[in-house]
């Protein structure tokens, strides 16, 4: 075996190194242009459906009597404790600034969540309305098609002789035949056949 054949066998059995370009984490799909701007704050990706379902659950809970009862009990206990408890145990004296701040913070978070839930419900209603509109359009088209088919069937049936029509025609033909036979019998009774008459004898001179 020559040196050239040995080198060829060696190159065949030795694993070849595949060139792999460095992985760029900011690089997306090939058909999407890259964003060359540098962001000071990285963009946070979240699941919009999960957050939307949480907003709907929160808004649905805020619209129940249970939430109102819990909120009323919390505020009543807070005010009663800070108004009747000893001074060393009071953390929010009269004017209840901390309670007001908490309620304001709760309202500031509740309003966007309720709006988000309303937007999702509006989108859902829009999709349902579009589906209903398409179903109504299909039903209207089917009704028009069935109406045209029924009209064509009525026209086709009008040209075809029905059983009642045939019976009436046969009855009229039978009546006409019976009347003709009766008239022929009456004519025969009035005028007998000349062959039945007796022949006259010739007169002799």
Place of tokens 């040209």: 159
Q: Which residues contact 109 (CB under 8 A, 6 or more apart)?
A: none
SS3 71: helix
Angle at 165 between CA 160 and CA 170, to 5 degrees: 120
Give 32's contacts (C-beta < 8 A, 6+ positions apart): none
**Distance between CA 176 and CA 182 in Å, rounded?**
10
Query: Per-residue pLDDT for the chain (205 aa), expressed as one digit of tens each?
Result: 555 566 666 655 555 554 444 444 445 566 666 665 666 666 666 677 788 888 888 888 888 899 999 999 999 999 999 888 888 888 888 888 999 999 999 999 888 888 888 888 898 899 999 999 999 999 999 999 999 998 888 787 766 666 777 788 888 888 888 888 888 888 777 765 555 554 455 545 4
- Residue spans of the domains in the chain: they are 46-159
Distance of CA 88 to the CA centre of its chain: 65
pTM of the model: 0.46
- Classify 46 in phi/psi space as left (phi over 0), alpha (psi -120 to 50) or beta: beta
- Assess contact for 67 and 61: CB atoms under 8 A: yes
Largest CA distance in the chain: 180
* Res 62: pLDDT: 86
């Amino acid at each position: 075996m020559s040196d050239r054949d040995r080198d060829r066998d060696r190159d065949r059995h030795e694993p070849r190194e595949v060139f792999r370009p460095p992985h760029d984490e900011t690089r997306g799909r090939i058909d999407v242009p890259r964003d060359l701007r540098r962001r000071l704050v990285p963009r946070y990706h979240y699941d919009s459906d999960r957050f939307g379902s949480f907003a709907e659950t929160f808004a649905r809970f805020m619209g129940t009597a249970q939430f109102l009862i819990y909120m009323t009990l919390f505020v009543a206990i807070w005010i009663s404790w800070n108004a009747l408890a000893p001074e060393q145990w009071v953390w929010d004296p009269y004017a209840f600034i901390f309670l007001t701040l908490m309620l304001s913070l709760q309202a500031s978070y509740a309003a966007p969540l309720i709006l988000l839930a309303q937007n999702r419900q509006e989108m859902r209603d829009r999709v349902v309305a579009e589906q209903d509109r398409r179903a109504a359009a299909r039903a209207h088209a089917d009704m028009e098609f069935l109406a045209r088919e029924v009209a064509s069937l009525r026209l086709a049936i009008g040209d075809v002789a029905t059983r009642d029509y045939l019976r009436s025609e046969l009855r009229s033909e039978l009546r006409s035949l019976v009347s003709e036979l009766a008239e022929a019998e009456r004519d025969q009774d009035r005028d007998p056949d000349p062959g039945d008459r007796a022949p006259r004898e010739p007169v002799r001179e």
